[in-house]
Amino acid sequence: MLDENYLSFITDLKNRGFEIALHNVGSGKFTRKEIIDGFNIFNRELGFYPKLHINHASNPDNIYWGYERYKSPLKNAMELIYGGKRKYYGTDIESDYFWGDICKEKITYIRNYTFNDINTLKVDPRMPYIDKDKEKYSNFWFSSSDGHTVNEFNALLAKDNIDRLESEGGACIVYTHFASQFVDSAGRIDREFARNMEYLSGKNGWFVPASTLLDYLLKQRENKYVTRNYLRRLDFRWALDRVVKRLRFKR
């Protein structure tokens, strides 16, 4: 059964120019049939299929997730941590959670890494790119800057960082959860967040949905493939940023 209030909210966002993407068909365990049904409902209610996908943290239907995200040696280390057990089955054709073929057909962009730097394009200058080891069930991959909760978001979008992003002529795609303390129990928006957004809105920036930016960047790419060494560098930068985030934000 559809949540009509939520559908109206999403439809209003779409009509205001916001991109409606896919974060799996939901949080939890979803079989191939449920995923197909979810795509069909998405298309029926919104008039299009999602172009961009971001994996949930622990859905078993995630695409190229867990140790499959990385290249060796980080992949080997993660595989040891998982005990060699596969936990994510979106690309496993033998699994009830398989939907890799649908992903390949419908989804243009999938996000992998998140970084602490506001200039996403500076850290991952080749995005969006094709990873030839994942080409069977995916098209293009991109990264984002980490604004997980209001604390990380406010640190990321601080005035000095916005100024640096502008001076570097960079591009930023921010990952966040607006349910994470952006509004208090009285319904008041976090003041620092509001100040940062007001400052950002005063800039002469190009404020567009993520797929619009990625489409633009893709047109600039003559070679859309990246090397394993390039991805290894992103692996290690991601791992370093996770340590810094843990120390700074205890997350």
pLDDT at residue 242 in the model: 97
Of 210, 192, 184, nearest to 152 by C-alpha is: 192
Instruction: Give the pTM.
Output: 0.96
Instruction: Decide which of 80 and 2 is more confident.
Output: 80
Query: Can you read off the two tokens belonging to residue 134?
Result: 């994942």
pLDDT digit string, tens, across residues 180-234: 999 999 999 999 999 999 999 999 999 999 999 999 999 999 999 999 999 999 9
Whole-number Å distance between alpha carbons of 38 and 215: 25
Bond into 50 cis (ω within 30)? no
Residue 136 clears pLDDT 90, i.e. is over it: yes
pLDDT digit string, tens, across residues 230-243: 999 999 999 999 99
Query: Can you read off the two tokens belonging to residue 64?
Result: 């190229």
